[in-house]
Structure 1
Amino acid sequence: MTQSPVGGASGVSRRPIQIGDRAARVLASELARHGGPKTGLLVGAAAGSATLAAAIDALLPDDRLTVVAASSGSGFGAAAALREHVERQGRWVTDRTRVVESLTEAEPADVVILAEPLAGSADEARAALADLTKLVNAGGVLTVVVPATRLPSGAADEVERQAALYGVGSDLVLRNVPPVRVHRLRHTPAHHAAAHNLLPALRPSSVPLTRGMNIDSNGVAAAGIALGLAALAKAARPKSKLWMVPALAAAPVAAFFRDPQRDVPEDTSAVVAASDGKVLGVERMHDKRFGDMEFLRIAVFLSVLDVHVNRAPVAGKVVDYFVEDGGYAAAMKPEAEHNVAAYTLLETAHGPVAVVQRTGLIARRIVQRAPVGSLLAKGERFGLIRFGSRTDVYLPADKAAPTVAPGDRVVGGATVIATWL
């Protein structure tokens, strides 16, 4: 009987790593965001594990899930325990979940999840990933987890190498013991049409404050730095009130990185705003960066009071990303055309769509989190710009009609700024 490719000395970490609920949700996120029908393969699961529970929770009526027992178990006994656990979940789960004893019994799936953290040497990790990749359907995703450590690790280094070549997303889960990093790999290209069947991806580093409001991880870090400076100032000059300056700044700095939940319109003809802000311009134009096509460009200015998380205006596949050098003029002025800007080009059913993140007078840091090859759902978060800026959305001019005008206020991911003809 063929064992799991990550078993024992061939890849599983010798240090105990507990995959908690949050990490399990991240591991199963590709299953959860896929609208189905889909097939999933969970490798290295144990009865009652958080990862198995998250994978089962992601199932829809037309989905199918195959589960391979954890390598720490003993062949038939581990599979029997899994079957018993699945049967206790009820008829609905058992009808959609199949437990097998080894990978040789598994069929290729749209989403393959390795529930056991990879460790060991680079060669061992490479062999394990090669075996798992064979079980991923064309355009499918392989999700793996490694310890989030800066210490030398052959397995983690190999996964990072493959993520640089095939990665379509990576998340650091600090709220795990110990912290882990989850990588999503796509070794064969996906069609852009698949993005229409996806929900916006989970952002585990976005810290929830209330049911509808999160703080982006950049805000948590910035607020932590401000509080750290306050502590240092207090320790250095106990009698001075200087420490209050960074201490009082921590809350508004964190608020700048607020990340609210948004209800994305379900209308397939709707194009949504890429950011909050005020519409600066709606115009038809040519841009040499994208060839001879005529585009409808909708530019939105973000003040320091606006939400600065950027979202995909349409569902599509990221086919290019590049940054152009320039200045830092105020984002509401015409000179901002020549500011530093990041261009994300999407392939869609209606033709090429571009989202441009432009810096401003104060905003000089662009964050883009969607690698080339990744699929973005409409309204999905893909980056942010720090402290006042501008976003431009380019749509094929002959296929889209604007629904906003200069001066209008828009809400990222929710306001319809154009419709497909």
Structure 2
Amino acid sequence: MTQSPVVGPAGPPDPVRLGERAARTLTAELARHHGPKTALVVGATPDSVVLAVALGALLPGDTLTLVPADGTDADRLREHLTLQGQWVADRVRIVDSLAAADPADVVVAAEPFTGSAEAARATLEELGKYVGPGGVLTVAVPALPGRTPDAAAELDRQDALFGVGTDLVLRNHPPVRVHRLRFTPADIAVAARLAPAYRPSSIPLTRNMHIDSNGVAAAGIALGLAALTRAARPKSKLWLVPALAAAPVAAFFRDPERDIPEDPAAVVAAADGRVLSVQRLPDERFGDGEFLRIAVFLSVLDVHVNRAPVAGKVADYFVADGGFAAAMKPDAEHNVAAYTVLDTDHGTVVVAQRTGLIARRIVHRAPVGSLLARGERFGLIRFGSRTDVYLPADAADPVVAPGDKVVGGSSVIARWR
């Protein structure tokens, strides 16, 4: 067998390069595991950005195995690692072929898929043999229309069967889509050892302030309308309306960094806003017994990125039809809502993203089977809305009351008993 799996015949003349942002996305599963873990990078080269980011993600107790890319001298790769120091040398080993590697918790294909659907399928089957129980395989494929459409279509098919998350990385040459695949169920307990995953959908503006990619798109549309209006009516000042709206529209999608409490008993707010109600009620959709429901209203001035209140595994996701009443009104109980059901060590936890009078669009980024760390971003609601957190009533006690202001990912709204 060759040193790394063949991903298909040579692609177009312009090669697909993975930059730092794509590399961070590919290795996100490696970087977010706090506990000891094993990792396997297939297709490594000394100058690979993926390798550099993977080495930077290593923690004490981790082990990393490298399979050199086709045409890469393993001795040259060993010399490169020697220059990284003893700390890296103690945790990284190089094998001459994939057949000599052991199964790992995280497997990363350092080279993007650029071949046929059949080649992509064969490579995934081969790499899948080296993914440990509950482990994750991450791969990238060009995202431009018409660029390796067969490989991209096969990855989409595999994602429908085994996907636990995809990310579109636009700041790459060319843009790529990163797929995370899990072929066997993950242990729920692993979620408690995870840090929130790196998301390229959250674009950094400053060290502590990001903006969701939806905000970039919305601001771009507003500026585009301004440009078209000015071109069509150069003597009119009407173009100033969409131009001036671009900044506040983008600000609506702001996504600040948050300090997540380390207390393992803490349940954090799923969104910024004001607590509307705290009540016990049954809900047969989620199981027997009563649930403690904490409802939070988000005004148009609040951050609308939603975060996981607890660590857990996404067991189900469904959307309930309804109306679009004002989110702070009792009738909002029957609005269109998206429900994310989490399996946790304490029982079933549910986050309901409810639409409002203005909010008509729910963004969800946590497929069934994925693991969420406490405080991890998993979606957003556009404009005014409401987010409800359901907790097992016999396992948690609320620490907030109606009228309290909470901050998503940071404010503690309840504690496990």
State the TM-score, normalizing by the size of structure 2. 0.98
Q: Given the alignment, which residue of 394, 409, 412 partners 1:398? A: 394
CA offsets 1:355-387 (integer angstroms, 9 cap, x no match): 000000000101110000000000000000001
Q: Counterparts of 1:33 and 1:291 in 2: how far apart (Å)? A: 31
Aligned with residue 313 of structure 2, among 308, 312, 317: 317
Equivalent residue, structure 2, for 1:59: 58
Q: Describe the SS at the equivalent of 1:165.
A: helix
Cα offsets for 1:312-358 (capped at 9, x unmatched): 00000000000000000000010000000000000000000000000
- The structural deviation recorded for 1:7 is 5.5
- For residue 340 of structure 2, what is the aligned residue in structure 1? 344
- AA aligned to 2:5 is P
Q: Larger deviation: 102-111 or 143-152?
A: 143-152
In structure 1, the residue corresponding to 2:285 is in which secondary structure? Answer: helix
Q: Supply the distance in 2 between the matched residues of 1:22 and 1:290 (Cα, whole angstroms).
A: 38
Answer yes or no: is the 8 Å Cα contact 1:13–1:120 preserved in 2. Answer: no
Q: Does 1:138 align with 2:147?
A: no
Counterparts in 2 of 1:198 and 1:12: CA distance versus 1, 3 Å: farther
Deviation at 1:18, TM superposition (A): 1.3
- SS of alignment partner, residue 402 of structure 2: coil
Shift of 1:15: 4.2
Give 1:105's match in structure 2, choosing from 100, 119, 140. Answer: 100
Q: Is 1:40 the counterpart of 2:39 in the alignment?
A: yes
Corresponding residue to 1:363 among 336, 359, 383: 359
**Alignment counterpart, residue 195 of structure 2, candidates 195, 199, 207:** 199
2:326 and 2:52 mapped to 1: Cα distance?
Answer: 50
The residue that corresponds to 2:4 in the other structure is 4
SS at match of 2:127: helix
CA distance in 2, matches of 1:165, 1:142: 13
Shift of 1:6: 2.1
Aligned residues: 416
Shift of 1:121: 1.2
Deviation at residue 100 of structure 1 after TM alignment: 1.1
TM-score by length of 1: 0.97
- Pick aligned residue for 2:160 from 157, 160, 164: 164
Partner of 2:78: 83
Q: Secondary structure at the match of 2:415?
A: strand
Identity %: 71
Shift of 1:8: 6.2
Residue 22 of structure 1 pairs with residue 21 of structure 2: yes
The 8 Å contact of residues 7 and 114 in structure 2, kept in 1 or not, is answered as: no
Distance 2:12 2:183 in 1: 24
Flag structure 1 segments of 5+ consecutive residues without an equivalent: none
**What residue number does 1:296 align with?**
292
| C-alpha separation in 2, matches of 1:189 and 1:15 | 38
1:415 equivalent in structure 2: 411
Paired residue for 1:283, among 279, 284, 289?
Answer: 279
> In 1, Cα distance between the equivalents of 2:403 and 2:12?
56
> Following TM superposition, by how much is the alpha carbon of 1:305 offset from its aligned partner in structure 2, in angstroms?
0.3
8 Å CA contact 1:138, 1:190 repeated in 2: yes
Cα distance in structure 2, aligned partners of 1:7 and 1:367:
32
1:406–1:183 CA distance, 2 compared to 1 (3 A): same
* Residue type of the alignment partner of 1:124: A
Shift of 1:150: 1.6
**1:169 alignment partner, SS class:** strand
Aligned residues of 2:8 and 2:113 also touching (Cα < 8 A):
no
SS in 2 for 1:274: coil
